[in-house]
Amino acid sequence: MKDVKVLGPGCKRCDAAVQMVKDAAAASGVEVSVSKVTDYAEIAGYGIAATPGIVVDGKVVHAGGLPKAEDLARWIGG
């Protein structure tokens, strides 16, 4: 099971990113637990400067804006 965190204070884009992660997980068939991280201190701890950020199994793979669907499929499926 993969653990995916979406980092963001809760703006529209962050919600869109969560949805993209869920869609990518459903498409790949990989079991994924998605959680949101909205606490500013915790977000900052990951070292990103722009939200939304995406963390897969503890590693930051994306920061700022929405990811590409193909990239997301690779991070989650690979």
Nearest distance from C-beta of residue 23 to other proteins, angstroms: 15
The C-alpha atoms of residue 26 and residue 51 are separated, in whole angstroms, by 23
- Decide: 13 and 66 in contact? Cβ < 8 Å: yes
Nearest distance from C-beta of residue 44 to other proteins, angstroms: 4
Residues that bind other proteins (CB under 8 A): 7-9, 11, 13, 40-41, 43-51, 60-65, 68, 70-71, 73-74, 77-78
Which CB sits closer to other proteins, 9 or 19?
Answer: 9
- Decide: 46 and 16 in contact? Cβ < 8 Å: no
Which CB sits closer to other proteins, 35 or 71?
Answer: 71
Nearest distance from C-beta of residue 33 to other proteins, angstroms: 21
CA distances from residue 33 to 10, 42, 50 in whole angstroms, order as listed: 18, 18, 23
Query: DSSP state, 14?
Result: H
